[in-house]
Structure 1
Amino acid sequence: MRILACLSLAGISCVVASGEQSVDTDERESLPIEDYRYGDHLDINKVIEISEPPEDCKPELERMTYEDSNGKRHVVEFPVMAKCPGISTDN
C-alpha cells in the first residue's frame, strides 16, 4: 500500500537523485502543507524528502517534500498504512 502511494505520487517524471538535498527545519516549517487526494496531478521534478511513519500497524499521514519544474518547493501530506513489526510485506 505504501509503495503504491509513493509511486502514484511520484509518477513517471520523478527521479530521485543520489545527491538529494536535505530540507532544513526552518524551511520545512515555513512551507504550507498540501493535502494529496488520489488522482491529483503533482508537478514533481525532484523529491527532496519523504517522511517515515512509525511502525505501529495503523494508518498514518506521511509527508513528501518535492521541487516542481519551476524550482518551487512543496510539502504534500498523504495517508499510508504504517509498517507492522514482524510482518513481512514481501511476496
Structure 2
Amino acid sequence: MKALLALALSSLCATAMAGEAKTDAAQQQPVVEQYTYATHLDIAKVVSMSEVPNVCAVVPMKMEYDDSKGERHILSYKVMGNGCSNS
C-alpha cells in the first residue's frame, strides 16, 4: 500500500514539474514586436533574420536581436521582395 502511495505521489510531482518547465519556457520566449516609425531600436547584436523572398510584393520579415542590456527581442516588419525588375 505504501509503495502504491509513493508511486502515485512521485508521478504527481513529475507531472507538476513538467508543467512548470513548459511555463518557464513560454515566459522566456520574447513577444513579437511590430515595427513602426516610432519604434526605438536598440540593436546590439542581430541573432537571425528571415530571408527576403524572390517575389514582387511587400512581404513580412522577422529579425531576432539582442539589445544593449542583453535582452532578446523579435521584431516584425515589412519589406519589398527581391523579385521586381525594371525591364
Say which structure is richer in helix.
Answer: 2
How big is the alpha-carbon RMSD for the aligned residues of Structure 1 and Structure 2? 2.3
Q: Which residue of 2 aligns with 1:58?
A: 57
Given the two structures, how large is their TM-score scaled by the length of structure 2? 0.60
Q: Which residue of 2 aligns with 1:41?
A: 40
Instruction: Tell me, in whole angstroms, the C-alpha distance in 1 between the residues paired with 2:30 and 2:82.
Output: 27
How much identity, in percent, do the aligned residues show?
A: 37
1:39 to partner: Cα distance: 3.5
Task: State the Cα deviation string for residues 30-55 of structure 1 (Å, max 9, x = none).
Answer: 32110000232111111111111321
Larger Rg belongs to:
2
Q: Which runs of 5+ in 1 are unaligned?
A: 1-25
Q: Which runs of 5+ in 2 are unaligned?
A: 1-24
Higher relative contact order (CA 8 A, sep 6+): 1
Bigger shift: 38-47 or 70-79? Answer: 38-47
